Amino acid sequence: MTDPRVANGGFGIYKDAGPVPGYGDAYGRSWANLPNLYGGTASVPYLLFPAPDREVALERYQGRENPNPTAPCSNPDRPPQRPFLTQEGLTWDDGTGVVRTPIGLPLTLQTFPTSPVDTQVLEARLTRLSDGAPNPLCAYGSSQYWEERDSYREKASMILRIWGAVIAFPHEPLTPGAEYEAYLKVRLGAEVREFTWRFRVATQGDLRPLRVEPAPEFQEVR
């Protein structure tokens, strides 16, 4: 998620093929370091992803992230307020946070409040425009988030409050080459706002892989 207040920045990356803690496999680990992302002022009042009227080169989400973003979808009665579900009873992960069957690329909204606010999704829709087919959503804000590990639950809720953010997961991977219309009705503190936008998914041949194999050599650029 991009911060429009960024004025300058640097980058770095670390990766290896060791086991991911808690999963006992060799899926791989990575860490990105982005220092000096300070000093700017917000140039836009909010950010939507995928970007309105643009093409996105990803269509699915396969999990393996902490804090676990699918936990409130699989446990809708655990958060202080239920996440918004367009269809009850769907499977989002295997119950331990591992997404065995890919789901759709998440939609996100950031609103950059001057101080942290509680966020809540009141309504959400994602429609494929070619045939009007809806993609079921699980959408939530800070008051609708839950996961079983206290530290991660508190961290995720605070991130959503600081950025005035909400997340909406489609249940099905997005269709390559299709255009979609997304709709979010959210509560940001005491304010209720609505957002509607359209975006396109890249064709199958232009989609990007979600997993990049580790390079045999590591090069550092300064």
Question: Is residue 37 predicted with pLDDT exceeding 50?
Answer: no
Better-predicted residue by pLDDT, 75 or 33: 75
139-170 pLDDT, tens per residue?
999 999 999 999 999 999 999 999 999 999 99
Q: Which amino acid is at 150?
A: D
Question: Is residue 41 predicted with pLDDT exceeding 80?
Answer: no
Q: Is residue 211 very low, low, confident or very high in pLDDT (cuts 50, 70, 90)? A: low
Q: Are residues 16 and 80 in the same domain?
A: no
Nearest to 182 by CA among 164, 163, 201: 201
Residue 136 lies in a domain: yes
Question: Is residue 59 predicted with pLDDT exceeding 50?
Answer: yes
Give first-to-last CA distance, the chain, whole Å: 25
Mean pLDDT lowest among 13-17, 34-38, 50-54, 83-87: 34-38
Q: Are residues 74 and 119 in the same domain?
A: yes
Residue 81 lies in a domain: yes
In sign, the C-alpha dihedral spanning 95, 98, 104, 105 is positive
Backbone phi, psi, residue 16, to 5°: -150, 180
Better-predicted residue by pLDDT, 19 or 171: 171
Question: Is residue 105 predicted with pLDDT exceeding 80?
Answer: yes
Residue 221 lies in a domain: no
Three-class DSSP category at 49: strand
Pairing of strands 84-85, 137-140: antiparallel
Q: Are residues 24 and 59 in the same domain?
A: no
Q: Are 141 and 111 in contact (CB under 8 A)?
A: no
Q: Are residues 39 and 69 in the same domain?
A: no
Q: Are residues 25 and 91 in the same domain?
A: no
Question: Is residue 184 predicted with pLDDT exceeding 60?
Answer: yes
Q: Is residue 186 very low, low, confident or very high in pLDDT (cuts 50, 70, 90)? A: very high
Q: Give the model's pLDDT for residue 16.
A: 57
DSSP 172-199: SPPPTT-EEEEEEEEEETTEEEEEEEEE
Nearest to 64 by CA among 14, 107, 28, 15: 28
Q: 144 is in which domain, residue-wise?
A: 44-206
Q: Are residues 39 and 107 in the same domain?
A: no
Q: Are residues 78 and 97 in the same domain?
A: yes
Q: Length of the chain in residues, anyone?
A: 222
Q: Is residue 135 very low, low, confident or very high in pLDDT (cuts 50, 70, 90)? A: very high
Structure tokens at 139: 């959408």
Question: Is residue 74 predicted with pLDDT exceeding 90?
Answer: yes
84-97 pLDDT, tens per residue?
999 999 999 988 87
Count the helices and strands in the chain (H runs, E runs).
2, 14
Residue 160 lies in a domain: yes
Q: Are residues 54 and 148 in the same domain?
A: yes
